[in-house]
Amino acid sequence: MPTPATATSPSPTSAKPPELAGLRPRTVAALLLFLAVSLGTLYAHLLTTAQSEAFVASMTRTTPTLSYFANKHNVLNQWFVKWAWGWTTAAFAAHWLASPASLKRRGSLARYTLATIAFVAFTAWFFGPAMMDRVRILSGGECVLPVPNPSSPLSPPQPGTTTSSSSNPLEPETNYLLPVPAALCYSHTVLSPESHPELFTHPGTPAPPPGFRLAPRIRKGHDVSGHIFLLTLAVLFLVDELALSWGLIWYARKKGVRPTLAHLGVTLAVSALVGLWAWMVLMTSVWFHTPDEKFSGYFIGLAAYAFSQIPLPFIDYLSEARS
């Protein structure tokens, strides 16, 4: 009867996973993601499925779309992709805890730390504004506050709300787009005539309704696909972690050794998460963003992954590779 694999299982260096045409798993993953972005972009171009920024900004859960995945409020987007790095962190932690001792390496923790730094720097904070917001402003984007236009037949936002109920808040035909300093977009500051009266004295600005409060938004500019960036980074990071696990499981199976249920179960679950991330890369490529925004998200994700591979001086990577 096969015996469960333990910490004394064969060394991962002798249990490499099967390669595809001599390519390492992360290389295969990067190529498959590039293919997903390319095919999704081609499909969007041929069938004109990519939706405008203004339409996406105005979406609600009940907005009719051509596909379930074309609405940004779909369950997978709201509960998984929106929190993708949190799910990736949980998957990494579970995989680490369930793995045999021979697979628990400080190098993995270092790579996770560097990947998290890259994620935060691009999407949240980089010595001030996030790099993603900086790129958009530097590429011609403008920080604007959509103020309800009385001449528009569409309804203004309800008093006291922080979002516009107009169908296309970033379209000048719907709202008056009041230019405000970029720093207010960087900080996501909620503006009102009471908190920032000086902003509403701009010539031509309509009087906002009572209780008007709204955060400004960046319009135009190069809007890098944050989803493709994040999912590319997450897939490549997790594939790196899974490679040795699948190698150990593959090798143990050939030797008649049964892997522990916890290790096998977590490896399967994390692999399923990687599959979900790859699928959402394809869906994002089909329904959202312009071609250059999709590919820039992919290549910046590759760059962030490369950053996570930088060796740290206090970790003996060579010794870990031989363990």
pLDDT digits (tens, 9 = 90+) for 130-169: 999 999 999 999 999 999 877 654 444 443 334 433 445 6
Give me the helix-helix angle, 226-254 and 106-123, nearest 10°: 160
Q: Does residue 12 sit within a domain?
A: no
Domain containing 209 equals 142-219
* In a shared domain, residues 123 and 160: no
Q: Does residue 11 sit within a domain?
A: no
The percentage of the chain sitting over the pLDDT mark of 70, rounded to a whole number, equals: 77
* In a shared domain, residues 124 and 227: yes
Q: Does residue 136 sit within a domain?
A: no
Q: Does residue 13 sit within a domain?
A: no
Domain boundary among 200, 219, 238: 219
* In a shared domain, residues 228 and 121: yes
* In a shared domain, residues 315 and 168: no
* In a shared domain, residues 248 and 295: yes
* In a shared domain, residues 234 and 100: yes
* In a shared domain, residues 228 and 149: no
- pLDDT score for 166: 40
pLDDT, mean over the chain: 83
The neighbouring-strand residues paired with 258 are 4
Measured between alpha carbons, how far is 224 from 229 in angstroms, rounded to an integer?
8
* In a shared domain, residues 229 and 109: yes
Measured between alpha carbons, how far is 165 from 157 in angstroms, rounded to an integer?
5
In this structure, what is the dihedral angle of CA atoms 297, 298, 303, 305, given to the nearest 10 degrees? 110
Domain boundary among 219, 235, 255: 219
Give the residue ranges of DSSP H helices in the chain.
25-47, 53-57, 75-79, 84-98, 106-123, 131-138, 182-186, 226-254, 261-287, 291-308, 317-322
Measured between alpha carbons, how far is 222 from 313 in angstroms, rounded to an integer?
36
Domain boundary among 189, 219, 249: 219
Domains identified in the chain, total number? 2
Taking 70 as the pLDDT cut, the residues of the chain under it are 1-22, 51-65, 151-174, 257, 316-323
* In a shared domain, residues 167 and 250: no
* In a shared domain, residues 185 and 118: no
